[in-house]
Every structure is written in C-alpha cells, then in structure tokens.
Structure 1
C-alpha cells in the first residue's frame, strides 16, 4: 500500500463527483469538506470553464483552486488567470512523481 502524505487534494468534477451535470451529492461535498478541515489544499479540475464550475460547487470551497477549460483557465483565491503552465522544474517533479506512483488497473 502506498501511504502518501498529500497536502493537496485534486478532484475532477464531471463524471467523477458530478453525475447530472449540475450538482454534487452532499455526501461527496462532506468528504471534500473533511479534507479541507484536515488542512488539505483543494484543487478542482474540469473541462468546463471556471464560470461553469462555480454553480456546480454552489458556493462550497471558496478557497479552492479551480482549474477549468482543461487547464486553460485557473482561479486562485477567486481571481481567474488566463492560463497557467508548469515551469520546467515543476513539470519534471510532476513526471517523476507520476512515474513513482502509477495509477490505474496495473498500479498498486
């Protein structure tokens, strides 16, 4: 078993947390709230533009970073940025972490 001590929790909206295109079940919202209360930084990701993610969250998690438009728009602290990209060092660290912790049916 992998035991990561993550400080950030990244979650996808559509098809993962939101199944009707409009709402997230209160039990899921409660679980995300528990992560935030435990001191985790929340990040949501969606193919939707940030403006279309906000109604689905319905005011929940205002401090969360929102990544919309498949990464083309990012909202941090309620301020939308046109786009954000990893710098070379950050991208390298991300790729290294992905290689160390494979996901999917073959990852353990």
Structure 2
C-alpha cells in the first residue's frame, strides 16, 4: 500500500492511500480484527456513492496495522496467509452475530 494519512475526527479513522497514478483514495476504518496477536483493519472506501464504477466489494480492503519508526500506526498489505486468516476470523464474527 502507498502513503497514508490518518485523521481522527469524532472517533472515525480515515486513511488516505495514494495509488500508482498519484490519486488519493480515502477509506474509513470500520473495525479492527485481531488475528494471531496482530491487528488488521477493515477499511471501507469513502466518497464512492456518485461513482458509477463503484462496487461495494471492491471498495472494502483489509490492511495490517504496524508501527512505523515514530510509533505511529501504518497500514500495509497483509500476506496472502494473513489475508485468509483475517477473512476467516471476520466470517466467524459475522456468523456469531447472526446466531445471537
């Protein structure tokens, strides 16, 4: 993943990524999913309602949260194995909520 910026406004965390073309993409952190002692963020794309090419599933990403050299949260791509583990944990959370 590319550059990031975090804004904490009203407890909402917004993360900015820059794509390969230098375009800014904004995501809101919806939840933290802990897996094997590491935190992963479920990020949902913002400002996509008016985008005709918007596909809700394509605008949700999973990012691993790590600390940079300054102790700040940094969002990076998970490995394939981490992604699958987070996906499994998320599905289990959803199944547990539905069972309630």
| TM-score (normalizing by structure 2) | 0.27
Question: Which protein is richer in helix relative to its size?
Answer: 1
Question: Which protein is richer in strand relative to its size?
Answer: 2
| TM-score (normalizing by structure 1) | 0.26
